Amino acid sequence: MGGPAAAGMPGTVFPGQYIEIPVTLSSPNKDGSYTGYWKLRNASGATFGIGAQADTAFWVKIKVAGTCACRLQLCR
């Protein structure tokens, strides 16, 4: 999957707080199942993830199938 190497946090995030971090990803051109793994980085530069030890990457799974036939229509 294509995507940015980093995405900024909206500010300070406190323990137990829920936030959304939007990231635009591009699917591969070949059919198949794909998984992307990520960790977060704190202000000191240390990476962390999820789980009891905060060391597990979180992930997104996608399935690419078929082709996309997109049509652009310009309106005036």
pLDDT in tens, 12-55: 888 888 888 888 888 888 899 999 898 988 888 899 999 999 99
Q: Total domain count for the chain?
A: 1
Indicate the pLDDT class of residue 76, thresholds 50, 70 and 90: very low
pLDDT at 73 over 70: no
Range of the domain at 32: 1-76
pLDDT value, residue 26: 87
CB 9 within 8 Å of CB 41: no
Calculate ∠ Cα 66-71-76, nearest 5°.
165
- 3-state class (DSSP) for residue 62: strand
Nearest C-alpha neighbor of 21 from the set 45, 34, 4 = 4
